[in-house]
Structure 1
Amino acid sequence: MATSSSQTLALKRNSSEQNHFMEKLMAKICSFYDEQSLIDVTFKVPNPTALVPAHRLILAAASPYFENLFNGNQGTNPVIEINDIDSDIFEHLITFCYTGQALITVNNIAAMLNAAIVLQLDVAITSIVDYLMTHMDEYTLQGAYTLGRETHCEYLKQKIIEYETQNFMEISQSDEFLNFDVEKLQRILVSDNLNITREEDAYDAIQRWYNYDAPARQEQLPLLIACLRLTQFNMDFLMTHIQPLPGCELLAFKALSWIGVPTARPMINMRFTEPRGISGEKTMLAVYPKLLQYYKIEDEWQEYASIEIGYGGYRTILKDDNLLFVGGGYTYNIVRSWNIRNKTWQYLPAMNQARRDHCVVELDGKIYAIGGYGDYVLSSVERYTTSDGWKFVNSLIVGRSDAGAVTLNGKIYIMGGNNGNGDLKSVECYNPDSNTWTSCADMTKCHILPGIAAHEGHIYVLGSGDDFTHSVTVERYDPEQDTWSQICSLGMGGGYRACISLDNKLWAIGSNLFYKSCVSVFDEENFCWIEGCSLLERKVRNCFVVPESLLSSI
């Protein structure tokens, strides 16, 4: 009989000894299963009829279904009949009870999920749904919808919502989208994480859905328009596109008043007043290598976690609840993921090309690793998806390392850096639809390791100062006009500047001439930089906007 003292003794074991013990134990259990040794129960299952031997203790530990079964009236029978699960599916899931792995294929997903739900194998359910979501191209979204309705699986419903939100642009063009009910569409459109490049994309999707059956959907239209971030449209758009819509006159009037009469805002009841992805419930997380969390109310930074990387030259990106550390060293192609919620590491598939001092961005749910340095300055670009891993796409026009990159309006912009012969002021733009890079207007100055952010439809580039003795040049790019202009400079020169957009403000984070950490906020109305609360660390290369709930979830 296990006692609290035996559990305490186990906890006191050296972790490596305990891991070795558990590995040997599981290996022995699996060998008993493979050799059908010490078997104490056999299941008779249909289609085709088969006998599946097992160990009661293992199955009862893996699933409450088996625990209740063995404690019930027929639990002592040497042979137990299972009539509602085919033999091959049942055997796969019995194997899962021993190994934590099962043979999942696109063809058996539905049967596996139904059976895992019956057998109450929660971990298997998670594995099956995750497999489905990474093979959506083969299984189809319509198939996932059907399976969700048939199984009533809450985890599958949750993952479908996440998929719809992340792949909204593609889904909004599908035939299935035209038949979404209004409640489902509302749930997607209100999401702060809706993956669109501009608010007009969501408006266009609503119009497509509405026009499919306008007479029947006229009363529902205001419910969907209310999900838009109306204050992000200009006044002309509101008057010509929103106000004429049936039932939307008051929504347009409120948005127009909000934009045109700022002093009246406290009296205007608006559902959404902030851009998607940037709200009062989000904050900053600075990385290098300590993670520092910004507290808005207190206007201070505090350490969230300390992580050990062990090498430099990597590039970091935020992906869902994870920080991805891509490449680095001299030189590595490894990709490591650090989960912000549970503070654990795992390895992801390695890149094809080892690279350091490169750029990493996310666009439409895909990760891009761009340029950098290998045995020479690289022009190669590769793209990662969970279904296909890393695949090369078209290369840069000019190879470069230590550049800066950002996404805006569904495209990737890379600028500055060094091509091996000198620093660059050139800029390139990648269009994923045509898989092509095109040259853009040059910056006014060369910039290496710049801080870059997309903010209110423009791209801002923060230089590192001229030899750390002059003001930091700040440039702004207008993608519509393909023009650069300098705005007011930051204070004394410094380096390692991160640049992000939060709460409708542009933030610059890094160190100054005297190697003192500093934070500045751009006051666009007065065209100046205002000094903010300093960080605990001066060498901050990355800063990300994250939900406050993500950092307070532990």
Structure 2
Amino acid sequence: MKESKQDIIQLHNVPHDILQQLVDSMYSFEITVDAGNALLLLQAADMLEMEQIVEACKAFLKASIDSINCLTIYHGAQQLSFNDLAEECLAFALEHFKCVSSSEGFLCLDAIEVMQLIGSDRLNVEKEEHVAAAVVRWLDYAPKTRLPHVAEMARHPRTGMLMADYLASLPDTSTSRHLRQAILPVLAGDSAPTPGSSYDDTSGKCKAGIACLDPLTSRSWSFPCPSQFIYRTSAATYTVKNDRLLVYLIGWTGDVGTFNHQLQVYDADLDQWANVAALPKYSYGKPVVIGDQVYALIDGLVYVYKEEKQRMTARSRMPQFFLGSAVAVCEGRLYVFGGLRSERDRFSSAITTAASYCYDPARNVWEELAPMPTARADCSACVGPDGLIYVAGGYTGVPHWNSAIARVEAYDVRMNQWLTKHDMQCARMELGLVLLNNTLYAVGGCRPGGKKGSPAMESYDTATDRWTGCGAPAFHSAQWCGYGCKAGCKAERQLVPCGRFLGVMPRQIIEKMLQRCDAAGAASG
């Protein structure tokens, strides 16, 4: 490793006093764990694989769970993938919801975490009105940024009309009038469906399959997603081990309030899915393969999948966290481009960013790069045959579905500078971008003006800086696919969109899948 040749090795995200306590414990065989240092010690000890201290911190935290700290401990446990500790905190919060919902920790939850709590079958409340009251308090804590989530809250059976009744019962104050004016009209109407990661324009519903396309023959087919898979926002990557295709998937939701907490893998030889590791939070993230390891960027924190332990281990946090960023892997490093500061920015402001960052897994450090010429979010990135990282599409304004762009820019990793390339023929966001046979393909995405998925595919020749083929349907129905790709693709391979993912597969693997599809078709016919 590079560190073996260095005199000084920096440990990032570990406070000096915490590191000092850990070093001292190696000599004294003692360490003091208290409410002030337990989570920090747990994170550092886990990073340094000091198992005895990890278990001591977990035992202390489990014994100290109360209505004030349970959600703080819950978040820490989720980030570190200590699912037993997270489950105890969650169980406590559900059992003592009335007290927990009055805490500062509850008011600081994000919208999806609130929906996860109130949508649980294990929620213990004496009166359903307590749930509506908690949701209203949560909305009132930061109304400017949270009122856009009213429609999502209203879909829960526990909140809809109960929230309206609770608002009507509040004393007539300026705050209650403001909440009633903002919330009641939404509760009375029907909100638009949440955009899906694979979306069929003909039915208006999210699709539940992984579509494949051979651009040489124009043949398309699909293979199934996990059981009960109704995904709205997903991301995937894949690797090939011993001629076996493994597709790793994270970040899907089913019905409102139902979230995936597993890293799932599809084995093409066995034609089956399996849960291989628990994930933190509700896991809207981006997985990538670097070398032979699977990494995931979730809420700005990098995790690595430890196959032997069947768990995700936290590594290093981004200097700034953005949603809707494009990711690419180049020369063993993870590159992250653009995004927006929070989910609410899709609806309330036009705060997209041009920020660019690079993560080096060998040193476990982030580096800030030259910003993109164009600030944008929900764009896609891919390494081209010339070694440049191409960033295409995305959106720049509000509402996001009406401001999709066709702009293409390329990042030179060696010179740390950006080059402007020819725009795509079709403006779109959340598209798929992948390299196949030295040609870049842009597939699917969301077209500007009306939240419509696009079935179109166009190809880009990096030598001539020219896009061709827009309008040729890539799939039988419109697909939204983007948010990541598998870099470094060679030989004759096939395009494989999977929700917000576009990758390629070796032909010998695809031939196995086609044989299975043909056999299934013959059997059914």
Question: Normalising to structure 2: TM-score of the pair?
Answer: 0.46
Q: Which has the higher contact order (CA 8 A, sep 6+)?
A: 2
Q: Looking at CA atoms only, which structure, 1 or 2, has the larger radius of gyration?
A: 1
Question: Normalising to structure 1: TM-score of the pair?
Answer: 0.44
